[in-house]
């Protein structure tokens, strides 16, 4: 019996993965960190299942030309991605009731798992669930949020460190499992995550209320300045990092939520910071630094 052609195996792997993920519309990211001048580092696409399947030949061409192929559901969804897992971690997940809907081997011995929840999770709850799963099973915390990209199977992993100098090849991203089922421990796991989110909301609200009270009684109460007013302030010399930190300090000291500060910082083009993950890391570092400074001042 003749071997299955690679193009057929790629198509079949894509079909199985997207069926197991269960979303109707996907965001596809074609990432090339060594993009030449005039090339985009990230090329995004939004496709339904049929369009994605039809686009496999084009994706294969882009992959051969150095682009890594990533996938995530569009919008809020019912999946959590756990990245950078060992084979033992996958076994432990199954043993404890966290059977993945999809398991992908991204490079030899390294895995990603998509867990399917029984309901669609909002952004905050989805991020909290992803972080808890990453902590529990030794995944990458930095990759744990509600909308992180995972790899699409059937294409090669074009990271330089995975290049085989002997064969001149990159490893294929392999589909290991595509069961597509909700994990058995969901009914016990999600209530705890939801309770943690509610507790953090209450703590944040108490802190904001205390800061607002303190500010009002120091003669505050004036309309809040927007981040654009900081960007136009000549004192900062158009230095984006200085502006972001100054605004974060100002906003947090007046009780603005972390989500609103994050959105304000992200309102400018951060592509010069690198990949989407690096942009998120930059925002998170700025917020942590500002919160720590404000909290120290408040405690005094």
Other CB atoms within 10 A of residue 219 CB: 7
Look at the pTM and tell me if it is higher than 0.75.
no
**First-last CA distance in the chain:** 77
pLDDT at 63: 97
Assess if CATH 1.10.1240 describes domain 189-299: yes
Q: Which of 228, 269, 234, 262 is nearest to 248 (CA)?
A: 262
Q: What is the pLDDT along the chain (300 residues), one digit of tens a residue?
A: 455 565 689 999 999 999 999 999 999 999 998 888 888 999 999 999 999 999 999 999 999 999 999 999 999 999 999 999 999 999 999 999 999 999 999 999 999 999 999 999 999 999 999 999 999 999 999 899 999 999 999 999 999 999 999 999 999 999 999 999 999 999 999 999 999 989 877 876 776 666 555 555 544 555 788 899 899 998 988 899 999 999 999 888 877 888 889 999 999 889 888 888 889 889 999 998 888 887 654 433
**What is the CATH architecture of 6-182?**
2-Layer Sandwich (3.30)
Q: Which residues of 175-200 are buried (b: 16+ CB within 10 A; e: fewer)?
A: bebbebebbeebeebbeebeeebeee
pLDDT at 276: 85
Domain boundaries, the chain: 6-182, 189-299
pLDDT at 221: 52
């Amino acid at each position: 019996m003749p071997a299955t052609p690679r193009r057929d195996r790629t198509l079949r792997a894509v079909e199985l993965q997207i069926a197991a993920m269960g979303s109707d519309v996907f965001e596809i990211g074609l990432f090339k960190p060594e993009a030449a001048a005039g090339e985009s580092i990230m090329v995004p696409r939004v496709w339904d299942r049929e369009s994605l399947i039809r686009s496999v030949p084009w994706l294969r061409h882009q992959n051969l030309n150095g682009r890594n192929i990533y996938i995530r559901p569009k919008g809020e969804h019912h999946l959590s991605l756990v990245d950078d897992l060992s084979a033992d971690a996958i076994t432990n997940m199954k043993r404890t009731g966290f059977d993945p809907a999809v398991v992908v081997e991204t490079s030899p011995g390294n895995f990603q798992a998509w867990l399917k929840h029984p309901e669609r999770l909002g952004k905050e709850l989805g991020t909290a669930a992803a972080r808890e799963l990453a902590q529990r099973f030794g995944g990458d915390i930095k990759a744990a949020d509600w909308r992180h990209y995972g790899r699409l199977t059937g294409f090669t992993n074009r990271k330089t460190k995975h290049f085989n100098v002997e064969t001149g090849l990159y490893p294929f991203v392999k589909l290991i499992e595509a069961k597509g089922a909700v994990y058995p421990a969901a009914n016990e796991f999600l209530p705890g995550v939801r309770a943690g989110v509610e507790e953090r909301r209450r703590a944040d609200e108490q802190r904001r209320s205390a800061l607002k009270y303190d500010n009002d009684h120091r003669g505050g109460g004036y309309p809040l300045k927007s981040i654009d007013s900081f960007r136009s302030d000549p004192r900062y010399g158009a230095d984006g990092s200085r502006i972001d930190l100054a605004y974060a300090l100002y906003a947090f000291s007046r009780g603005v939520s972390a989500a609103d500060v994050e959105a304000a910082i992200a309102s400018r083009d951060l592509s010069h910071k690198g990949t989407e993950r690096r942009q998120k890391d930059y925002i998170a570092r700025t917020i942590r630094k500002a919160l720590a400074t404000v909290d120290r001042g408040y405690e005094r």
